[in-house]
Each structure stands twice: as structure tokens, then as C-alpha cells.
Amino acid sequence: MSNEIPNELPVEDQPSADGAPEAPSRWKRRSRALWVEWLKPLFVIGLVMFSFRSAVADWNDVPTGSMKPTILEGDRIFINKVAYDLKFPFTRWRLAQWKDPAWGDVVVLRSPDDAKRLVKRVVGLPGDVIEIRGNHLYRNGEPAVYRLLDQRDVLGYFDNDPPSALYTEIVDGRQHAIRIRGTGVQLRGPFEVPEGQFFVMGDNRDNSRDSRYFGAVDRSAILGQATAVALSVERKSWYYYKPRWSRFFSDLP
């Protein structure tokens, strides 16, 4: 057996100031391994995923019927956040813009009242004069065309609670279904949409808090365009949910 003393000691066995070997604690070694092997990759994946949802595409669960019959309670809608522009993730800083919302687009926006997310339809563009008479929409003095619909053709079932009627609303050749129950919320005279703002309404005209209440919304408040229903589930009771298979991956008019 050799009695030679090595000239160098391993790092963990190097003597400290008082001559005793000094080594990293077991807790530090385990913490470093946990960060490198688990936490750092998860952090990077989460950052990429949330940045994508913030700036490119997202989904939104719809808890209310303000867009009925186009969007039902329990729908999960797909939101195209680059439909109009590109924003820096987690901010409203606009990096590029290619177009503005068009009449009839279903958009997701921040409410001017409380900054909550809302899903509404654009019915007035900058410079348009909007009127609501007897729940009928007038744009620049021209009335929309209305045609009565069979509820079964739109919803797949008859919904008469409360009593209501479904119509097709047609403006400039573009159409969508709306729900009317009564006289609805009227506007006090014509409303001219200011430059850089948009007039939005829910398709469920008697059950929607929209521009008839809080006025036109700024372009910067519009987060993206809702283009499709990804999933849809009807709640039968607090523990039983029924999928609406016919609405899965369906486009929004």
C-alpha cells in the first residue's frame, strides 16, 4: 500500500481557513438539482404558454347568455388575438396592426365599467350613426332586415323560458341570429360612434350589458376576435354535465 500523500485534494475536501474541509451542504446540492432539472424547464414552458395565450390565441369560458343564440352558456370559445394586431405579451402595447374590427365581428373586450372580459358583436364602426327603435337596429339611417327563425334550427331545441323569438339580422349582406324577448333597451336618439371606437351589442338583445349602457369602446380595449366554439357543455345539475357534441369545433357567424 502506498503511503504517498496526494498533492491536491478534491474540491469538497479542500481545507477551509481553519484547516477543516469545506463542502456544499446537501440542501444546496438538492436545491440546485431541483431548479435545473424540474423548476427551470417548467418555468420556461409556463412563460411560453402564457405568452402565447396573452398575445396570439386564447380560449374563454362563457358563463352567461348575453350572446344567445350565437354563444350559449357553457361554450368555450376560441379567441384569435392576432386577428387585428399584434401586442406585446401581458400588455396592450401594439407592435403591429393590420386591420380594424369589421361590422358583425364577434369580439372579446375589456368592459369600460369594471375591466371584465366581455364577448359582444360589433354593430357600429367609427363614424357610424346608430339607432335602436323597437329593438330594431338602424345604421346610418338604414334599417337592418329581420327574418323570423325556427328556434330548433338554431339551438337544436325549443327554448321558451322566458318567451322570446329568434331572428336573422342582416346588414350589408352580413347576417347573424339574435334573440328578442321584449322591447329591449333603447337609445335616446341617434348615437354617432367616435373615431377610434366601436359600438358593440350582445345578440341576446334583452339580456346584455353593452354599448347601450356604457357607450362605445376604445379600439385598445378589444383583445381579439372570437371565431369558433371549441367545446360546449350543458349543465343539467350541480354534478351532471352534458356535452353538446354538435357545437364542438363550430364556427361563429
- CATH code of the domain in which 115 resides: 2.10.109.10
Domain assignment present for residue 228? The answer is yes
Q: Give the whole-angstrom CA distance, residue 161 versus residue 163.
A: 5
Domain assignment present for residue 5? The answer is no
CA neighbor of 119 nearest in space, from 228, 237, 2, 45 = 228
Domain assignment present for residue 1? The answer is no
Q: Is 120 part of the annotated catalytic residue set?
A: yes
Report the 10 Å Cβ neighbour count for 119. Answer: 24
Instruction: Answer whether 247's CB lies under 8 Å from 229's CB.
Output: yes
Q: What is the DSSP letter of 220?
A: G
pLDDT at 22: 54
Domain assignment present for residue 107? The answer is yes
pLDDT at 175: 92
pLDDT at 11: 47
pTM: 0.79
Cell 364556427: give the residue. 251
Residue 111 sits in the same domain as residue 186: yes
Domain assignment present for residue 6? The answer is no
Q: Could you say which of 30, 50, 70 is where a domain stops?
A: 50
Q: Read off φ and ψ for residue 195, nearest 5 degrees.
A: -60, 135
Domain assignment present for residue 8? The answer is no
Domain assignment present for residue 245? The answer is yes
Residue 148 sits in the same domain as residue 217: yes
DSSP string over 180-242: E-SS-PPPSS-EEPPTTEEEEE-SBTTS--SHHHH--EEGGGEEEEEEEEEEEEEE-SSS-EE
Q: How far apart are the first and last CA of the chain?
A: 87
Q: What is the number of domains present in the chain?
A: 2
pLDDT at 9: 46
Instruction: Answer whether 170's CB lies under 8 Å from 147's CB.
Output: yes
Domain assignment present for residue 138? The answer is yes
What 3-state class would DSSP assign to 68?
coil
Residue 108 sits in the same domain as residue 157: yes
Mean pLDDT (10-residue bins), the chain, 253 residues: 51 50 66 69 72 74 91 94 88 87 96 92 97 89 90 63 79 90 73 96 92 94 95 83 91 92
Residue 38 sits in the same domain as residue 122: no
Instruction: Answer whether 197's CB lies under 8 Å from 126's CB.
Output: yes
Q: Is 66 part of the annotated catalytic residue set?
A: yes
DSSP string over 126-192: TT-EEEEETTEEEETTEEPEEEEE-HHHHHSS---SS--EEEEEEETTEEEEEEE-SS-PPPSS-EE
Residue 35 sits in the same domain as residue 133: no
Handedness of CA 211, 215, 218, 221 (dihedral sign): negative
Q: Which residues pair with 191 in a beta bridge?
A: 130
- Helix (H) / strand (E) element for 106: namely strand 106-110
Instruction: Answer whether 216's CB lies under 8 Å from 198's CB.
Output: yes
Q: Give the whole-angstrom CA distance, residue 210 versus residue 120.
A: 8
- The range of the structural domain enclosing residue 41 comes to 15-50
Residue 45 sits in the same domain as residue 67: no
**Which residue is catalytic, options 81, 120, 164, 211?**
120
